[in-house]
Each structure stands twice: as C-alpha cells, then as structure tokens.
C-alpha cells in the first residue's frame, strides 16, 4: 500500500484534529460533515451553470432532481444522470454542487443529479426504487427538459455506483432511453462483506484497508446497517450485483477503483462479472488513491488529474453528431 503523499498528509491532519468518526455523530452532523469536507477538499473551481431544481412535486415521485446545464448552451443536449455517494445515508445536491457544475462545464451536457431518498429514514429498497423511477421520469420529461433521450449515460460514485447499475438495468428493460454508457467510481456492488450474518464474500482489499484509509470497515457497516436493517436484503441481486439476472443489458461500462480502498476488489470483481456477461468493460485501479478521491481535487493534483481522466472517459460516450 502506497498512499499518495498528498492524501497521506490529509489522513495525518484528520488524525491530528481528532473528533468523532461519522458513525459516532448524530445523523444531521454526519451529513453536514460530509458536505463540509467536499466543499473544503473537492474540485477547486466553481463553474457557472444554469441550474434548475425540481422537487418531488415536479418529478411526480419521491426523489428530487437538480439539472445543471452549461451556460449559454442552446438546443437539445445529451444527459449524464448522476447518482451520488454517501453510503445510502449521506449526500445531497449541495454537497456535490461544485462537482456537478464541473461535469456540466467540461462535458457540455446536462447533468441530472438525482436526490434519491436516504436511509435510515428510507431504507432499502427506497433508493433503488428512486433510481428506476428517475429513469422513467427522464424518459417522459426529456423533450420538455431539452434532453436527447437517445444520448443518456449514467454515473455513480460509491453507493451511487450501485444505484447507477440498478438504474441502467431498469432503463434497459424499459427501452425508452438510449443508454450510451455507465461510469462507476469505487462502486458498492456487493454489500455482503459489511453485513453481519450475510453469506461469505472474500475480497482481499476489504481486510487490507479495513482501517486507516479514509473509508473503513466500521463506517461501511454503519452505512449498511442503516440501509439494510433486514439482513436478508444483503443477499438480493440489487445489493449483490453479480447475481443480477439482467447484467448483459448493461451499456458500455467503465469502472474506476482506488488502490487504497476497501471497495477496490469489489469493483474489480464486478468488472470481471460484467465481462463474463458479454458487456464491454474498461476497469482502472488508480494508484495511491483513497476512497472518495473525486472530492480530493482541491488538495491533491494527482486526484484532480484523475477527475479529468474520468471526465475524458465519460466524454467518449457523447461523440459529436454528424
């Protein structure tokens, strides 16, 4: 394990500062702490964008959506449907606002940030249901939103990686959207290693990076205890995605994992499963990175370069027309 020096210094500062771990905070404090961390350490430029917020009254479902459209863009645009991280418990549009703006600016597409329902107020399957409903809503609303329904990709980070897969498979079964790609970043594609009593699932990185590397075993168990209060749900194909019967329907998929992350081998194993299902897949393990490196661009030049690398990969899903 060789953590990039910038990120090793981050871990040292966090240890020196002390304070409770996320799982030991009140829920509102944990959500605020994640938001503050993203604002302090994340993408370092706030790009201008045309932002439109749609609540459940506008989407006709329990989820909200925030649309980021590049400034002065005209006409119909492709869309990237963005499912955020936070262990199914934390995260919102404000937390990811600067990142959503950056994606809209750099890609020249409409970012559709989905505010799915969070646990523990709304445990599984609420978030998965919202992911599917979001794709149905987008298919119906695309024309009004000036989005090309034949040029839609999905992106998810961590817990959002799980939801992006579930959303893509739901959309593929429905046939109303033309999915052109999926990008999964340190995704939670198998819940079992972090759920007491679940069937055995061995991934070396889960043990190797169980403590001391930003995301740890105790935090993951807290997330999934909140999200999956019924242990049997940890065995369902929505949470063990390698068991999903429809994986062959996935569009071209890119999976980015962090070297020093307990979820590393889970994501890489899922890449192998997709390949075996006949899906076009590219998997990259990024050296020296920690979980959540997408929000480390303000403190690490290497993490920021990886952010741009991922943007370039997503851009391949939206080639110019003509």
Find the helix or strand (DSSP H, E) in which 156 lies. Answer: strand 147-157
10-residue averages of pLDDT along the chain (322 residues): 92 91 96 96 96 98 98 94 98 98 98 98 98 98 97 98 98 94 98 92 93 94 97 97 97 98 98 98 98 97 98 92 61
Reading phi first (left if > 0) and then psi (alpha if -120 to 50, else beta), residue 92 is in: beta
209 by DSSP, 3-state: which? coil
Predicted pLDDT of residue 322: 53
Q: How many CA atoms lie within 13 A of 187 on its CB side?
A: 33
Domain-wise residue ranges, the chain = 5-315
Catalytic positions are 158, 261, 291
pLDDT at position 205, please? Answer: 97
261 — phi, psi (to 5°)? -145, 130
**Structural contact between residues 164 and 83, judged by C-beta atoms closer than 8 angstroms:** yes
CB 309 within 8 A of CB 172: no
Q: Rounded distance, CA 121 to CA 113, Å?
A: 20
- Residue 127: its pLDDT value, please? 98
CATH number of 5-315: 3.40.50.1820
Q: Cβ distance 268 to 283 under 8 Å?
A: yes
Dist. CA 6–CA 41, nearest whole Å? 11
Task: Give Dmax (Cα) for the chain.
Answer: 56
The answer to whether 262 and 251 are in contact (CB under 8 A) is no
**Cis bond upstream, residue 123 (ω within 30):** no
5/139 Cα distance (integer angstroms): 44
State how far Cα 182 lies from the chain centre. 11
- Which pLDDT does position 200 carry in this prediction? 80
Closest CA to 30 of 163, 226, 192: 226
């Amino acid at each position: 394990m060789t953590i990039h020096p910038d990120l090793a210094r981050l871990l040292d500062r966090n240890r020196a500062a002390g304070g409770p771990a996320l799982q030991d905070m009140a829920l509102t404090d944990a959500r605020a702490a994640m938001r503050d961390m993203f604002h302090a350490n994340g993408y370092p430029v706030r790009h201008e964008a045309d932002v439109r917020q749609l609540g459940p009254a506008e989407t006709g479902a329990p989820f909200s959506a925030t649309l980021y459209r590049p400034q002065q863009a005209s006409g119909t645009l492709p869309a990237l449907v963005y499912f955020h991280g936070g262990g199914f418990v934390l995260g919102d549009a404000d937390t990811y606002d600067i990142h959503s703006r950056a994606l809209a600016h750099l890609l020249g597409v409409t970012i559709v940030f989905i505010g799915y329902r969070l646990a523990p107020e709304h445990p599984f399957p609420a978030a998965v249901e919202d992911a599917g409903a979001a794709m149905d809503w987008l298919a119906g609303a695309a024309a009004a939103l000036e989005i090309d329904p034949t040029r839609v990709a999905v992106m998810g980070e961590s817990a959002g990686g799980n939801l992006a897969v579930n959303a893509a498979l739901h959309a593929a079964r429905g046939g109303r959207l033309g999915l052109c790609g999926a990008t999964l970043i340190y995704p939670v594609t198998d819940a079992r290693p972090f759920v007491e009593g679940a069937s055995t699932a061995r991934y070396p990185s889960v043990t190797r990076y169980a403590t001391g590397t930003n995301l740890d075993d105790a935090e993951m168990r807290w997330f999934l205890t909140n999200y999956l209060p019924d242990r049997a749900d940890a065995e369902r194909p929505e949470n063990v995605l390698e068991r999903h019967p429809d994986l062959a329907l996935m569009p071209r998929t890119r999976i980015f994992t962090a070297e020093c992350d307990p979820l590393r081998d889970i994501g890489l194993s899922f890449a192998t499963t997709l390949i075996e299902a006949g899906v076009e897949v590219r998997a990259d393990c990024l050296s020296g990175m920690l979980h959540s490196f997408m929000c480390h661009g303000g403190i690490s030049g290497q993490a920021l370069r990886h952010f741009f690398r991922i943007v370039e990969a997503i851009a391949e899903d939206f080639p110019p027309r003509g």
